[in-house]
Chain A
């Protein structure tokens, strides 16, 4: 059974470029979460979806960040334009309503903005 799939695993880009991170949640899961992890701030929740609908995006740091979930099996997190302070590991996680509160995390995307 495949877990949460994220791509790319590593992304190196230059300041000002657009970055798109991708996530495929576990089949049957109806919640999807995007987190950002840094040494200074730990794991920060950016946004989460329920049944493809954004529920809370209050953690999105700036208008440069946007997230979509066009269907139950795919979500994107976009940063445009990217800045060096966006460098972090971005995690996608999913869970299902009937599965308790356990969230299943993907392997993460390590983003470096030069």
Chain B
């Protein structure tokens, strides 16, 4: 099954808090797991991505945690800021020549 299940659908976090979004997949052939960020009126843009040979990748305040045995990965946003308010999509693909399969998205609101 080529699904990626994302939760929660929406998330409200206080400024300075940690935002956590989770994704689960079924296809063990997936070998690329990106997170995309979408602001209103814009197209999604790559935020951070990980491959299954590592369990964690950090870029600034954004961290992907990857659990291969559980077939889950998550996005952590540390010190969340109002400017992080956006919709976040997890995705997965395999083999380098297949399209991304997207989760349904999480709408994050960071309130002051």
Contact = CB atoms under 8 A, between A and B. Distances in A.
Contacts of B46: 102-103
B42 interface: yes
Contacts of A107: 41-43
Contact of B99 (A41, A45, A91): A45
B104 A56 contact: no
Given A43-B104, A103-B100, 7 more contacts: A42-B103, A43-B44, A45-B101, A101-B49, A101-B100, A103-B99, A105-B44
Interface residues of B, number: 21
Interface in B33-47: 34, 36, 41-46
A45 B93 CA distance: 13
Contacts of B44: 43, 91, 105
30 contacts: A4-B43, A31-B99, A42-B89, A42-B102, A42-B105, A43-B102, A43-B104, A43-B105, A45-B100, A45-B102, A50-B97, A91-B43, A93-B43, A97-B96, A97-B97, A100-B96, A101-B34, A101-B49, A101-B93, A101-B96, A101-B100, A102-B46, A103-B46, A103-B99, A104-B45, A105-B43, A105-B44, A107-B42, A108-B42, A108-B43
Interface string A34-60: 000000011101001010000010000
- A-B pairs with lowest CB-CB distance, top 4: A105-B43, A42-B104, A43-B102, A101-B32
A96 B41 CA distance: 25
Interface in B82-112: 89, 93, 96-97, 99-105
A25 interface: no
Contacts of B96: 97, 100-101
Given A43-B44, A43-B89, A107-B42, A48 B102 contact: no
Task: Report which residue of A43, A56, A106, A108 has the largest number of chain B beta carbons within 10 angstroms of its beta carbon.
Answer: A43
B52 to A, nearest CB: 13
A100 B97 CA distance: 9
